[in-house]
Structure 1
Amino acid sequence: MKNDEPTVGRRVLLRTAVFLGIAAASGMLTGGEADPPAPGTPGSAGGPAPAAGPGNVGAAGAPGLNAATLPEKSYRLSPMTAESPARPPAAKPAVRTRPILELPPEARAGRAMVLTFDDGPDPRYTPAILDTLSRYGVRAMFFVCGEMATDNRDLLRRMASEGHVIGNHTWTHPLIPSLGRGALESEIGRTSEVVQQSVGEAPVWFRAPYGAWNRAAFEIGADLGMEPMAWTVDTLDWKEPGTASIVSRALDGAAPGAIVLNHDAGGNRSQSVQAVATYLPQLLAQGYRMTLPALPPR
């Protein structure tokens, strides 16, 4: 039996060595974590991922594991959170050298015309004009002065709610060429602010008082996102020539593409109120269609 003792001892030592080798390989002797793979090797951050399939080493380094058997946080990648591309700013209109005087040819189909009113809103006259437009289902453009608009914001809101277009006519109706650039920027900018505060949108059309334009007016208007508009038919209602005279000028000047100038403030506009109520149904009976201009391509 003594001859067998060395053999038994050798077997015990061999089994112990095998056990220690297996324990070291599985991480039991190093706290349960194997050394991370070297960069550039399969499974490392900088190396190619191993091919999927049975028997491959999973994300936790254990043979035979795959995404279906691992905890979610072990294999699910975080979604990319790159910022969305910024929206490009709205294109500003080109700086023109002359205002728009009439509708473009393609907009004249159906004998289209545009009615415009300057200098308001005035609570003595504007509501009656709005009533007439509503009676005939017509929309118009109102070029407002800031000093009138700021005290009559309810009329601005009515204009907007009834589908009319609100344009910018400066704050105090000055002669533009007599102003310095800073003063003109204030006249135009403050009026746009009042309109935006009142109806939620800034004007996109601008008209110079007296039709007196200069380079600065075109530049400032364009910088604020507005197109310049003039007119082709002046009813001369601002002179208070009598209702019949205003009606005659509106009817005589009617033509496809025409832009008609009226006033709803800036003086006694009772003649203007009566004239609009008189000539509007006649224009409609003649087959003219009152419309609103589309912004030119930008």
Structure 2
Amino acid sequence: MRRFVTGLAGLCVLALASCASNGERDTTILKTALLPAPARVISDGPNAIEVITTGSIGEIMPIEEAPLQLGSIHSRVVDGADRGAQVMTISLGEDGRPEHHPLAGRTIYLDETRDITLAPLEVVLTFDDGPVPGRTNVVLDALDAYGVKGLFFMVGQMAHYYPETAAMVSEGGHTIATHTYSHPYLPALGHDAAVANIDKGRAVVQETTGETPYFFRFPYLAENEWLDRALASRGLIPVGADVDSLDYREATTEQLVERVMRGLEARGGGIVLMHDLQGRTARAIGPLLARLEEGGYKVVQLKYGTPPLKDDTLVARLQTNPLR
């Protein structure tokens, strides 16, 4: 199935190559060999993107949706979860032609608090505690080299001190999330102080990135029911972790990569927790991405909202990379 989807994406790339750099991407009509119909143009921030439906991608395996919940979401790994409607992102190289990135997977949209369903070998890469100049940008460069996107849980205080780096994350097309303002142990605070720290962190991250965060991670992964209810009342989705890199502990690059790979192999995939303020993470992210690609993994991007299409089609997104 994955080979079939990849093949369809490849056909989209060929169809797009001839029109990717003609300067008229907002209005151009695109056609593919599979479906001779005009592309639908939708808005995605300041830039329009072309959405190309390429036709049916085969028999759909119904996957039971996880129930709504109160508390941090995790992932469940289910065979066939990547079958059905998919959104793939195609980035443009310096020559204006679409690039092929084997590690880049689909986009999963979520607008309610429920566990996400991943297929085997699908991974969500998450980064906490940044942004930090000299480290976050190294992580961004590595992700960009492999054409994949991460989920960045920013501490408001860090975004306040380093707004340019915070903006780089947003401009790179990554998902912006929040991690309180000052990274306190929230259960030890009173209700008013805790929610004020959550609210201030969200406001600062929104101000520095230009995006409203809808995903939240508890510092130290420490939560309780009243904190979960406070998030729910604010429309925030708390995100947990399936594989903890423990990158805050002393480790060589090889040890850190092996720790993450063992965790993923044990589960078959999942949400990986890392910290972009850690120098060892900045050093290890490139080798980790190489191992993931070698192992046949796909890095999935988690976004807030609903998918642009809900029919049995493959969707290709063509967008420029503003970091180039």
Structure 1-normalised TM-score? 0.63
Asked which structure has the greater CA Rg, the reply is 1
Q: Give the deviation of 1:104 after TM superposition.
A: 6.4
CA distance in 2 between partners of 1:123 and 1:282 (Å): 26
1:234 is the counterpart of 2:244? yes
**Alignment equivalent of 1:275, drawn from 277, 284, 291:** 284
Equivalent of 2:228 in 206, 218, 225: 218
Which secondary structure does the structure 1 equivalent of 2:272 belong to? strand
Q: Which runs of 5 or more residues in structure 1 are unaligned?
A: 1-93
Between 1:241-250 and 1:225-234, the stretch displaced more is: 241-250
Code of the aligned partner of 1:195: V
Greater relative contact order (CA < 8 Å, ≥ 6 in sequence): 2
Whole-angstrom CA distance in 2 between matches of 1:274 and 1:152: 21
2:272 maps to 1:260: yes
Q: Separation in 1 of the partners of 2:70 and 2:183?
A: 21
**Unpaired segments ≥5 residues, structure 2:** 1-66, 82-116, 307-324
3-state SS of the aligned residue for 1:292?
A: strand
SS in 1 for 2:248: helix
Identify the residue that residue 74 of structure 2 maps to in structure 1.
101
Is 1:95–1:219's contact at 8 Å kept on the other side of the alignment? Answer: no
Aligned to 1:122: 132
Structure 1 residue 204: Cα displacement: 0.7
* 1:173 correspondence with 2:174: no
CA 1:134–1:103 in 2, change beyond 3 Å: closer, same or farther? farther
Question: Does the alignment pair 1:291 with 2:264?
Answer: no
Output the CA distance in 2 between the equivalents of 1:228 and 1:295: 12
In 2, Cα distance between the equivalents of 1:234 and 1:110?
18
> Which whole-Å CA distance do the structure 2 matches of 1:242 and 1:221 have between them?
37
How big is each residue's C-alpha offset from its partner over 1:7-35, in whole Å with a ceiling of 9 and x where there is no partner? xxxxxxxxxxxxxxxxxxxxxxxxxxxxx
Aligned sequence identity (%): 35
Pairwise mapping of residues 16-165 of structure 1 onto structure 2 (< 5 A)?
96-102=69-75, 105=78, 106=81, 107-109=117-119, 111-165=121-175
How far apart in 2 are the matches of 1:123 and 1:101?
Answer: 29
SS in 1 for 2:180: coil
Closer/same/farther in 2, CA of residues 296 and 219 from structure 1, 3 Å limit: farther
CA distance in 1, matches of 2:193, 2:218: 14
Larger relative helix fraction: 1
Distance apart, 1:293 and its partner CA: 2.4
- Matched letter for residue 75 of structure 2: E
Q: Which amino acid in structure 1 is aligned with residue 299 of structure 2? A: M
Using the TM superposition, give the Cα deviation of residue 251 of structure 1 relative to its aligned residue in structure 2, in angstroms. Answer: 1.1
CA contact (8 A) 1:103 1:259 kept: no
Q: Name the CA distance, whole Å, in 2 between partners of 1:152 and 1:173.
A: 16
- Provide TM-score, normalisation by structure 2: 0.58
C-alpha separation in 2, matches of 1:262 and 1:207: 12
Give secondary structure in 1 for the equivalent of 2:301: coil
